[in-house]
Amino acid sequence: MPLDIAKVLKKAWADFIGTLGFESAADVIYSACFDAAPTLQGLFKTPRSFMSLRLMQGITNIINLSENPPAMKAAVETLGSRHFDRDPQAVRVTVLQEAMVSAVQEVFPLSPKGRLALVAVLNYIGGGNCYITREYYGRIKIISNSWKIANNKEMFSFNSAVMGFGRHSTWMHLILDQFDDIVVHAADSYRLQEECDILSLVLAQHAGTMNLTEFKAIMLASLRSLLPKAGQLRFVGFRQFLKVRGFSAFFFLVYLGF
C-alpha cells in the first residue's frame, strides 16, 4: 500500500474510533459483521463483549501496521493461524468487508482514498485468512494423523534411555501426558494456549532443572522410528509443529510462568 494512502487510512480509522470511543466502535463493527452474516455467530463461543474488542483490536493493529508491509503481513498471518478450525470463505469476506465499511461510513464519512484503503486492507485480511486456511490446514491434518500413529509412550521411553536422558524421565513424562491434548487441539489456537497454560502450571510444580530441547529431540527420534512408511512429509509437518506452533507457544508460556 502506498505510504500516503496508508496515512490516510490510519487517520480515518483513528477518527472513527475517536468519534465513538474504542469499545463503542468495536460494538458497531461487531454488530455489522454478525448482522450481515448471522451464521458466523455459531463459530464463536466467546462472549460478545470480549469478542468485539478482540476483533476491533486485531483490525486496528493491522491498520496501524499498514505503513510497514512486512509487519502487516506477519500480523495477518498470525490472525489467520488462529482460525484454522473455521472456514473463511471468499463470499463471507466480501459480505463482511462491505458491512464493516458501511458501518464506519455511517459514523464517520470516509474520503474516496480512505474508503479505498479500508476496503483494500479488509480484503487483504480476509484473503490472507482464506489462503492460510487453504494452504496450512492440510498440514494440521497431517500432524493429527501422524500423532495417532506416533503416540507411543513405550517408544518415547526407549529413545529416552538410549539417548541418555532416562534420568530426566519424570518431567518429560509430565509433558508427554499433556502433549496429546496439545497436538489434538493444534488447529484451535485458543484451546492450544489453554493446554500450554495447564502444562506450564504442571511443570511449575516440578523441582529440578529441565531442558526442553531434550524432550523435542526424543520426540523427533520417536517420530522417525514410528513413521518411516508414512513418508517424510509427515515427519517434516510434525517437526514444524514442534518448532513453530505448539512448542514455541509452550516455551513462551513456561518461561513466562517461571
pLDDT at 51 over 50: yes
pLDDT at 168 over 70: no
- Please tell me the predicted confidence (pLDDT) of residue 242: 47
- Please tell me the predicted confidence (pLDDT) of residue 40: 64
- Burial of 126 per CB tally in 10 Å (0-12, 13-18, 19+): buried
- Please tell me the predicted confidence (pLDDT) of residue 166: 67
pLDDT at 63 over 80: yes
- Please tell me the predicted confidence (pLDDT) of residue 245: 42
Q: Output the CA torsion sign for 39, 44, 47, 48.
A: negative
Distance CA 44, CA 138 (A): 22
Q: What residues have CB less than 8 Å from 194, skipping those under 6 apart?
A: none
CA distances from 108 to 11, 58, 97, 234 (A): 11, 20, 16, 50
pLDDT digits (tens, 9 = 90+) for 112-139: 888 888 888 888 888 888 787 777 777 7
Cell 497431517, residue located: 142
Per the prediction, the chain carries an average pLDDT of 76
Cell 497454560, residue located: 197
Lowest pLDDT segment from 81-95, 153-167, 180-194, 205-219: 81-95
Looking at the whole model, is its pTM more than 0.85?
A: no
3-137 carries CATH number 3.20.20.10: no
Domain boundaries, the chain: 3-137, 151-257
pLDDT at 253 over 60: no
pLDDT at 231 over 60: no
Answer yes or no: are the C-beta atoms of 234 and 145 closer than 8 Å: yes
pLDDT at 258 over 60: no
Distance CA 147, CA 141 (A): 10
Would you say how long the chain is, in residues?
258
* Whole-number percent of the chain with pLDDT over 70: 78
Lowest pLDDT segment from 1-10, 31-40, 240-249: 240-249
pLDDT at 104 over 80: yes
| DSSP line for 167-178 | GGHHHHHHHHHH
- Please tell me the predicted confidence (pLDDT) of residue 45: 64
Angle between helices 22-36 and 3-20 (to 10 degrees): 100
Residues 48-73: what's their mean pLDDT? 86
**H helices then E strands: how many in the chain?**
12, 0
Pairwise pLDDT comparison (118 vs 3), residue with the higher score: 118
- Please tell me the predicted confidence (pLDDT) of residue 41: 62
- Please tell me the predicted confidence (pLDDT) of residue 55: 84
pLDDT at 252 over 50: no
Residues 60-66: what's their mean pLDDT? 90
CA distances from 251 to 5, 41, 156 (A): 39, 33, 20
pLDDT at 80 over 50: yes
Residues 164-175: what's their mean pLDDT? 77
